[in-house]
Structure 1
Amino acid sequence: MAQAEAARCLSGLLNGIAQSVYYGSGDVTEELLRSEFYPEVSRDEFRALHEKMRGLLKSIAAADMDHAQLEAFLTAQTRKQGGGGVSADQAAALTRFWKSQRGRVRESLLAGSRWEPSLRGLTWRVDLQTAASRGDAAPRGPVALMELELGRTGQDSEFVCLEFDEAQVNQALRTMADVRRSIDGLARGSEGV
């Protein structure tokens, strides 16, 4: 019975950490988890266990480990000497937790990495104005019209219309080329790390 109770407590701790770290539940505190699942354990011992499990969950979630990766990771953790590793029971609890919560944690991480408002759609066209349509003696150059559909999660879209003349289009293209070169440079720099 003691082993089943230990598994229940560790499962509760892992779920509590997920609530706090990934699901935005600010009322799930370290002290609440200790009083709920490990009241007989000293604060220092619980803090060490809490930080270990929190660190392991963050590593697992950051890598979005599949079953094989998780198994290899936890096998390496169980082989660690000293207090840095995990027991076989802890590894089993982590496996059960990740199997049931991987999708939800992943969605939480993705939602947290999105910029809001986000671009939902973009349409554009180029208009040529003739002298007769404007009443001018000389026609103006081409005009690029762009409509951006922007929105926040769970809200209706907003639309923004932009008008560019030829010089503004060329400037925007130069700026995008500069951004691309910067990103390529950063990507090449990180490959050597």
Structure 2
Amino acid sequence: MSRLTDLLRQLRSADPQLGADLEKEITALTKRRSFGLVFERHQPEAVELPGQPVRRGSKVQVLPPRGETAKGDARNPGTTVVLYSSSPEKAVLGTVRLRRTIKVNPDCVWGLHGSDIGISESDLNAYLEGADESTLLEVDCPDSWEQPVPLNSLRTVLGIEPSQSFRYLATEQVEQAKQLSAPDV
């Protein structure tokens, strides 16, 4: 959204009332929709349709009670997280184990965790710009695979499409992907 923010800033300086009106509408829209980085087009594995009536034959997601996480939920400590680099590699690079998730006000992330984050403060600020909240993943047990596993291999060998933000993989799928990283003998 940083490009949109820059354009809005320019518009406010040229026409303050129009800029304020447009900013009000964008704020309302961002409260209803999630915006983020999209690196490539693909078919989503699932789409949430809040407010859609449930009918016979509908697939539904059963959520755990508020404040709890379901078994296999990505927020559970010990979950294996597959690391996919969308640019420039477009490949899986390895895995880490989730220790815990940390909810932090976006304005406090750098001050609290800047020394542990592998990007610059300006890149982090650009990434978090406009976010009302942020969740950090504290990880351990890094497993850097011998070779990156390209997106095409994930599609052809495992028959999976990477999702826009995250997706769950069975332990067997993670092992199959790791085998793809082994150099040919």
**Common fold by TM > 0.5:** no
Q: How high is the TM-score relative to the length of structure 1?
A: 0.23
**Based on CA coordinates, which of the two structures has the bigger radius of gyration?**
1
Structure with a larger share of its residues in strand? 2
Q: How high is the TM-score relative to the length of structure 2?
A: 0.24
